[in-house]
């Protein structure tokens, strides 16, 4: 089970780190200036970017996009309500 | 008083003002001065909260309610926090149920991100250009402390936005 997720924005990658065994899973996102928000209880991450008006829904287990939706304007840091 | 910057990146969401049946994600829409409420399960769009654009002189407008106007004016009587040359940004506090802006809070300088303390009594606004932070009392919706730091980055609370 992944217990934490971090992003490395320098080279467009996202990395999930399992804190139990320090296994690191890396995936290419190829997004510029992105921000990610972990949506607790859903197994997903929402990833926004200032480069385009779109939010990616990332499957946390495999660190791959499983959907997306369009917003108006630039995306930025999101928040998941409890 | 001229507002020099707008903290649309920094809309504070108060859980006490929110009643939602399903998990919801708040997605800022920077250039359109709005935030979109999204179903966290599937990404379906919900309510869009608008009106986060720059307000005001310090006069009452149609977009500012009586309570907001009173709150705003009360700030002018308090000693301002932060550098005197920092300009002013506005933190907007929307009600996720109604979509209305219930508070607008003046803070010194451009805001990069915000966070709410775990006991929901305080919020923090990061001012990267000023290398400082503002602490906002969420009981009174007033900024109480400005702290200058060496270099401000991001805040780490999971309910930060912006």
Nearest to B113 by CA among B28, B2, B48: B28
> Mean pLDDT across chain A, nearest whole number?
79
What is the token pair recorded at B132?
């400082």
Contact flag B25-A78 (C-beta cutoff 8 Å): yes
pLDDT of A55: 92
Q: Give the CATH number, domain containing residue B109.
A: 2.130.10.10
The domain spans of chain A are 4-70
Alpha-carbon gap: A61 to the closest alpha carbon of chain B (Å): 15
β-pairing, B24-29 vs B45-49, is unpaired
Average pLDDT over residues B117-144: 86
Whether A31 has a pLDDT exceeding 60, the answer reads yes
Nearest to B61 by CA among B115, B120, B104: B104
B100: in domain: yes
Which residues share a beta bridge with B114? Answer: B125, B161
Which residues share a beta bridge with B101? Answer: B94
pLDDT of B153: 54
B162: in domain: no
What is the token pair recorded at B81?
């926090």
Average pLDDT over residues A54-79: 87
Query: For an interface test with B, which of A34, A71, A74 has the most B Cβ atoms less than 10 Å from its Cβ?
Result: A71
Q: Least CB-CB distance to A81: which of B24, B28, B45? A: B24
Query: For an interface test with A, which of B17, B25, B155 has the most A Cβ atoms less than 10 Å from its Cβ?
Result: B25
Contact flag A39-B40 (C-beta cutoff 8 Å): yes
Confidence of residue A70 (pLDDT cuts 50, 70, 90): very high
Helix (H, G, I), strand (E, B) or coil at A10: helix
Rounded Cα gap, residues A39 and B73, in angstroms: 38
Higher pLDDT, B122 or B23: B122
CATH, domain range A4-70: 2.40.10.480
Write the pLDDT tens digit of every residue in A38-51: 888 888 889 888 88
What is the token pair recorded at B133?
């932070």
Average pLDDT over residues B121-149: 86
Q: Is A38 on the interface with B (CB under 8 A)?
A: yes
pTM: 0.66
B3: in domain: no
Q: In chain B, where does DSSP find H-type helix?
A: 66-77
B160: in domain: no
The answer to whether A77 touches B113, Cβ cutoff 8 Å, is yes
B2: in domain: no
Contact flag A39-B113 (C-beta cutoff 8 Å): no
B136: in domain: yes
Higher pLDDT, A67 or B22: A67
> Mean pLDDT across chain B, nearest whole number?
68
Rounded Cα gap, residues B33 and B131, in angstroms: 25
Domain count, chain B: 1
Confidence of residue A10 (pLDDT cuts 50, 70, 90): low
Nearest to B38 by CA among A43, A5, A81, A60: A81
Rounded Cα gap, residues A1 and A4, in angstroms: 9
The answer to whether B89 touches B4, Cβ cutoff 8 Å, is yes
Sign of CA dihedral A53, B113, B33, A69: positive
Residues of A in contact with B161 (CB under 8 A): 77-79
Considering A6-10, A30-34, B98-102, the range whose residues carry the highest mean pLDDT is B98-102
What is the token pair recorded at B19?
């009643």
Alpha-carbon gap: B150 to the closest alpha carbon of chain A (Å): 23
Nearest to B157 by CA among B117, B109, B127, B110: B117
B140: in domain: yes
Q: Least CB-CB distance to A42: which of B18, B23, B27? A: B23
Whether B5 has a pLDDT exceeding 70, the answer reads no
Domain that holds residue B53: 8-148
Rounded Cα gap, residues B57 and B80, in angstroms: 17
Contact flag A46-B25 (C-beta cutoff 8 Å): yes
Nearest to A2 by CA among A29, A46, A38: A38
Rounded Cα gap, residues B90 and B1, in angstroms: 13
B130: in domain: yes
Residues of A in contact with B13 (CB under 8 A): 79, 81
Higher pLDDT, B66 or B45: B45
Lowest mean pLDDT among A46-55, B70-79, B100-109: B70-79
């Amino acid at each position: 089970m992944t217990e934490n997720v971090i992003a490395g924005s320098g080279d467009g990658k996202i990395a999930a780190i399992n804190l139990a065994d320090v296994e690191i899973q890396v995936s290419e996102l190829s997004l510029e200036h992105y921000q990610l928000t972990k949506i607790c209880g859903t197994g997903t991450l929402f990833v926004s970017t200032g480069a385009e008006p779109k939010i990616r829904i990332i499957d946390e287990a495999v660190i791959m996009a499983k959907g997306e939706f369009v917003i108006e304007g630039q995306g930025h840091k999101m928040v998941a309500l409890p | 008083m001229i507002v020099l910057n707008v903290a649309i990146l920094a809309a504070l969401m108060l859980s006490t003002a929110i009643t939602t049946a399903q998990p919801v994600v708040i997605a800022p829409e920077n250039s359109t001065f709005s935030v979109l409420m999204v179903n966290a399960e599937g990404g379906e769009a919900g309510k869009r909260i608008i009106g986060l654009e720059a307000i005001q002189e310090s006069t009452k407008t149609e977009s500012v309610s009586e309570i907001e106007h009173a709150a705003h004016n009360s700030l002018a009587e308090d000693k301002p926090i932060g550098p005197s040359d920092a300009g002013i940004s506005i933190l907007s506090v929307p009600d996720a149920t109604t979509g209305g802006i219930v508070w607008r809070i003046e803070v010194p300088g451009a805001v990069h991100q915000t966070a709410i303390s775990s006991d929901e009594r305080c919020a923090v606004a990061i001012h990267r250009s000023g290398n400082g932070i503002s602490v906002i009392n969420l009981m009174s919706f007033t900024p109480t402390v400005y702290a200058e730091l060496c270099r401000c980055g991001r805040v780490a609370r999971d309910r930060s936005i912006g």
